[in-house]
Structure 1
Amino acid sequence: MSYGRYDRDRDRDRDRSRSRDRGYSSHSRGGSGGGGGGSFGGSYNSKDLGQNLRSINWGEERLTKFEKDFYQPHPAIAAMPEEEADRLRQDKSIKIVYAEGLVPKPVRTFEEASFPDYVLDEINRAGFKEPTPIQVQGWPIALSGKDMVGIAETGSGKTLAFLLPGIVHINAQPELVRGDGPIVLVMAPTRELANQTQEECNRFGKSSKIKNTCCYGGVPRSTQQRELREGVEIVIATPGRLIDFLESGDTNLKRVTYLVLDEADRMLDMGFEPQVRKICSQVRPDRQTLMWSATWPRDVQKLARDLCKEDPVHINVGSTELRTAHTIRQYVEVVQESDKRSRLKRLLEKVMDGSKILIFCQTKTGGDELTREMRTGGFPALCIHGEKKQEEREWVLKEFKEGKSPILVATDLASRGLDVKDIKYVINYDFPNQVEDYVHRVGRTGRAGASGSAYTFFTADKAKHAKELIAVLKEANQSVPEELEKLAENAGGGWRR
C-alpha cells in the first residue's frame, strides 16, 4: 500500500516521541468518577455509584425563583395562518407527535426565532444560512419554557437547538452567588460529545460572558473541580464524573432550571439509566427538561415520562423508522471474513484522494491490529477506542479533523457525537451488532446536507441483520446486492417491523 508523499518513517518516529512524552497506554482505565472514563462499561455499571447522594425534600428547600417563558413570536410568525404552519412542518418532515394545547408555530429564519441581538450576531458570525428542521420547531418550543422531546437523526443541529435557548434562559436568571451550582446542565453519553458541546458553548456564550465547564473521567479532577467551585452557568457532563463531584460536594444542582439530556438513547444503551435518574433527582422538580434522541425505543419513552415534570411536547423530524440521510450513497458487499483485508486495500486505493475516511471495527483489538497493518502498508491511519487514554484520543481526533491523518479507525465510540463535518467516506469493515449502530455509523458522512459514501463489508455470520439492513437501503433508494437478499431469505428472525 502506498500513499503518495506520506513519510511513513517520519510519522512513526513522531508517534513514538509523542507516546514517550504522554505516556500513552492502550489499557488505561481512566480516572475516578466513572462516566466518560477511559473504558466504557467499566465503572459505569458500578452499583455503588451515587449511593452517597442524599434524597432532597424539595418542599423544605429555599429555591431561587426563575423565569422560563421568553418567547415573543415575530410579527411574521404571529400573522402566519395555522394552515401555513402545518405546510411548513410537512415540508420539513416535522411531526408533532404529542402536545397539550397549541404548539408554537415553526420559524423560517433566524430572525423569526426572536433571539436577542447578541445571539443573532453570533449566528451571523458563524455563517449559518438557515435553521435546520429541528431548530425550526425546537427553538420556539424551548424558548416558551415547555418540556420537550426531540427525535432527529444525528447531525441534524440538535446542539444549537437546545443551546441557544439555554443561553437566553441563563441571561434571564439572577446571577450566581458563591456556592451555587449551574443553571444549565447538559448530560452526554461520551466525553467526545461533551467536548463538542462545550466548543459550541464557548463560541455562542462568549458574548454573554457565560462560563462553562466540561466534566468527564479519564483526566485529573483538579481543573474541573476548581471551575465547579468557582461557579459556572453551564455544566456539560458525562454521568459518572458528575456523580463523583456531587458526592464530594464540589457542586450541587439546586440552581439547574434548564436540564438537557443529549443522545438519550445512547446513554441508555451504555447502561447509564441508574446514574441519569440519580442525577435528575438532585435537580429541582420545577425545571425545564429537554430530551434529545436519535431513536425512540420503549426505554427512552419511559425515561421521558418519568423525567419530564410536565407533559412534554414531542416532535419528530424525519421518519420514526430506521433511516439514513438520502445524501449518502450506500454500498454493501457480501464478503468472506478472510477477504476483508484485501478488499479494504483495493477500496482505499480506489477512493483515497486526501479526503477524510472513517473505518469502523467491532473490537478494540481488531481496530489496533488493522491500524498497525495499514500504517505498515503506508496508509496514514490512526485509531481511537475506549481503552485509549484521553490525551491520545484528543490528539488523534485533532490530527483527523485537521486532515494530517485522513484515515481514522474507530469502534462504535465514534459512531455518535463525532462532529467532523467533512468526512467523505465511511467504511464498515465489521458490521455492527445492531442495525441502529449501522445507521449512526453511516450518519458520520453526508452531514448537514453534504453528500458522502458508505461502504460495508457484510459477512454471513451477520445474516440475522440482513432484512433490517435491506429495509434501510430500500428506504434510501439504494441498490440491494443479490447476495444480501439471499442471506435475508435464509436467515430466520431478526427483523423488527
Structure 2
Amino acid sequence: MAKRQTPAASEISEETAEIPVEATRKIKKQKVANIPTSTPPTTTISAAPTIAEGSGFLKKHGITVLNAKTIQDPYLTFANIEHLKPSLLKPFKSFDAPTPIQSAVWPYLFNGDDVVGVAKTGSGKTFAFGLPAAKMVRKQSPKQLGILVLVISPTRELAIQTFESFQQFGPKSYVKPVCIYGGVPKGEQRHLLGEADCNVLVATPGRLMDFMEEGVIDLGVVKMVVLDEADRMLSFGFEEDIKRILSAVPSPRQTVMFSATWPMEIRNLANTYLSPSAIRITVGSDELQANTDITQNVEVMTQDAKEGRLLQLLKGQAKTDLVLVFALYKWEVGKLEKLLVQRGYKVASIHGDKAQRDRIASLDSFKTGKTPVLVATDVAARGLDIPEVACVINFTYPLTTEEYCHRIGRTGRAGRKGIAYTFFTVNEKSHAGALVNVLKKANQIVPENLIKFGTTVKRKVNENYGAFVKDVDMSVKGKKTTFDDDDE
C-alpha cells in the first residue's frame, strides 16, 4: 500500500425493571438465520490506490487525518484489504465500496493504532470498527478464549443494533457476540456470558459495571476497546463509569473512540485513555452539523396547527414509506399514537415507560413495515440504524439543536437521501439562531419567519457564572441520567 510522509499534527444509570427473558433470547437468535448465503465480495487484491487517488478521495469527502506520522492511503474498495477471510465480507455484500469513514479508519485500525473517529450520523461507523474487531477475533480464535473486544454503547437500542451487526459476520468468522444492557433480568444475560464463549461483548456502562462488581465479567484478555458515541455517553453522565471500566482493561490494548462531535470533554477523555500517538480522523466538520443527504424543511407555525399539518404530511407519503415522528414527552407520544390510530394509520411507539420487550416489538414492527409509522421520544434519536426510513417529522422541537441533528439523522443513512420536517413554534424561539446555523451549513433553505426570531446563538450558561464564563474546560461532571426518565 502506498504511503506518503506528512508532518505530524498536534493535535444512565440504567433501568432495573425486569421483563421476560424472551426479549434477550430473541436478540441472540434474531439475525443468525438472516445471514446472507450468496457469494460475498471477492478478496482478490487489486492495485492499491495511487497517491493522487488517495489524496483526491480524502479531499472529496473532507477527510482530515491528524497526528499520523505517515498518512495511509484509504481503502477505496473492499479488494484493497489484504489478508481478509471471505466470511468477514458477508455484511458488505450489498455495498459496492466502503463508506468514507470506513475507508479512512480501516488502514489505521488494521494496523493496531488507537483512533478517534469523528463523523456524522449514518456514516457507517459501526462496521468502521466492527470489521477490524472481527478480523482481530478471527486471527486470535479459537486459541484465545475470553472477551477480546469490548464495545461500550450509551443506549440499549444502539447496543442491540451493534450486537446485531456483529452477528452478521456469521459462525465461520469465529465472532461470538453477547449484548448486555439494563432493563432486562440479569439472570439471562449472566447465563449467556457463561455459555456463549463470548469474545465480543457489547454493553451499556451501567449493566457492565454491575457484572464487573459481581465478578461475572473478566476483562483480563481484552485486546480492543471501542467507545461508541462517546459524546452521548458523557452527556448521559457516564464519565466515571467509563474511567472505571477502562482502568480494568489491561494494557497494551487498542482503544477506539467514535463521536459525532469533538467537544472539550471528548478531547480530555481521549488524551487520558488513548495513546499519545492516537490518530484523529474527521469526516467533514467536527462541529455540530446535519447530514447533507437530508433535505430539511423547517415550518414555523402555531401549536394548534401542528396536528393538521402532521396528518397532511402523512397523507402525502407512500403507504410503504417508513416515517419516524418525534415528540418531546411521553404523554405526547401517547396522544399522537391515539390520533393516528383513529385516522386509520398503523402506528407503533417507543418511549421511556415502555418495557424493553415492548420496545423491541415496536422496532421490529416498524423495521418490517408492519407498522410504517413510529412515534418516539428522544430515547430513539440515537442508535436506530434503519436505512429505509424515508422521512422524519419533528412534531415538537427537541431540547437542544444537537438532538435535532441526531433526530433527523435517522433518515438519509448509508448514502441514501432523506427528508425531514420540523414544526417550529414561538415556544422554541431560543433555538432559532442555532437552527439557522445548522441549516446554512447544510446549504438548506432558511425560512424568513425563522430568521425573525433572531439569529444569535445563545452561549451555554454556567450555573455559577452565567453567560460570562470563559470557553475553557471547567471540568464539571455531568449528572448520571436514568435512561427511562430522560424524556420526562
After TM superposition, the score normalised by the length of structure 2 is: 0.82
Give the match's secondary structure for 2:375: strand
Alpha-carbon deviation of 1:271?
1.3
Q: Structure 2 CA distance, aligned partners of 1:316 and 1:305?
A: 17
Q: Deviations over 1:34-64 (max 9, x none)?
A: xxx9xxxxxxxxxxxxxxxxxxxxxxxxxxx
Q: Which residue of 1 aligns with 2:69?
A: 101
Which runs of structure 2 are paired with 1:230-379 in the superposition (5 Å)?
230=195, 231-379=197-345
Q: Could you tell which deviates more after superposition, 110-119 or 387-396?
A: 110-119
Unaligned runs of 5+ in 1: 1-27, 38-73
Structure 1's 250 and 413: CA in aligned 2 closer, same or farther, altered over 3 A?
same
Which runs of structure 2 are paired with 1:7-406 in the superposition (5 Å)?
30-31=17-18, 76-77=47-48, 80-81=50-51, 83-96=52-65, 98-119=66-87, 121-123=89-91, 126-173=93-140, 175=142, 181-230=146-195, 231-406=197-372
Residue identity opposite 2:123 in structure 1? S
Alpha-carbon deviation of 1:119?
4.2
Alpha-carbon deviation of 1:460?
1.1
Q: Structure 2 CA distance, aligned partners of 1:196 and 1:150?
A: 19
Q: Structure 2 CA distance, aligned partners of 1:174 and 1:455?
A: 48
Residue identity opposite 1:464 in structure 2? S
CA contact (8 A) 2:156 2:204 kept: yes
Unaligned runs of 5+ in 2: 1-14, 25-44, 462-470, 472-488
CA contact (8 A) 1:285 1:309 kept: no
Aligned residues: CA RMSD? 2.4
Alpha-carbon deviation of 1:166?
0.7
Q: Structure 2 CA distance, aligned partners of 1:75 and 1:408?
A: 44
CA contact (8 A) 2:149 2:224 kept: yes
Identical aligned residues as a percent: 41
Structure 1's 380 and 103: CA in aligned 2 closer, same or farther, altered over 3 A?
same
Structure 1's 121 and 366: CA in aligned 2 closer, same or farther, altered over 3 A?
closer
Q: Structure 2 CA distance, aligned partners of 1:209 and 1:169?
A: 10
Structure 1's 109 and 392: CA in aligned 2 closer, same or farther, altered over 3 A?
same
Alpha-carbon deviation of 1:164?
0.9
Structure 1's 278 and 205: CA in aligned 2 closer, same or farther, altered over 3 A?
farther
CA contact (8 A) 1:465 1:495 kept: no
Give the match's secondary structure for 2:291: coil
Q: Structure 1 CA distance, aligned partners of 2:46 and 2:295?
A: 41
Q: Could you tell which deviates more after superposition, 101-110 or 151-160?
A: 101-110
Q: Could you tell which deviates more after superposition, 388-397 or 202-211?
A: 202-211
Q: Structure 1 CA distance, aligned partners of 2:372 and 2:398?
A: 23
Residue identity opposite 1:107 in structure 2? Y
Q: Structure 1 CA distance, aligned partners of 2:304 and 2:16?
A: 32
Q: Deviations over 1:63-120 (max 9, x none)?
A: xxxxxxxxxxx6733x733x54322211222111x21411322111001022413345
Structure 1's 431 and 357: CA in aligned 2 closer, same or farther, altered over 3 A?
same
Alpha-carbon deviation of 1:350?
2.7
CA contact (8 A) 1:252 1:282 kept: no
Alpha-carbon deviation of 1:31?
4.1
Residue identity opposite 1:320 in structure 2? D
Q: Deviations over 1:313-333 (max 9, x none)?
A: 000011223222222111111
Q: Structure 2 CA distance, aligned partners of 1:375 and 1:308?
A: 50
**How many residues get paired?**
424
Q: Which residue of 2 aligns with 1:476?
A: 442
Q: Could you tell which deviates more after superposition, 130-139 or 318-327?
A: 318-327
Q: Structure 2 CA distance, aligned partners of 1:356 and 1:242?
A: 33
2:461 corresponds to 1:461: no
Structure 1's 347 and 174: CA in aligned 2 closer, same or farther, altered over 3 A?
closer
Give the match's secondary structure for 1:172: helix
Q: Structure 2 CA distance, aligned partners of 1:492 and 1:327?
A: 24
Q: Structure 1 CA distance, aligned partners of 2:46 and 2:446?
A: 49
Structure 1's 255 and 31: CA in aligned 2 closer, same or farther, altered over 3 A?
farther
CA contact (8 A) 2:16 2:184 kept: no
Alpha-carbon deviation of 1:29?
5.4
CA contact (8 A) 1:361 1:429 kept: yes
Structure 1's 492 and 473: CA in aligned 2 closer, same or farther, altered over 3 A?
closer
Give the match's secondary structure for 1:448: coil
Q: Structure 2 CA distance, aligned partners of 1:161 and 1:111?
A: 16
Alpha-carbon deviation of 1:174?
6.1
Q: Structure 1 CA distance, aligned partners of 2:204 and 2:150?
A: 11
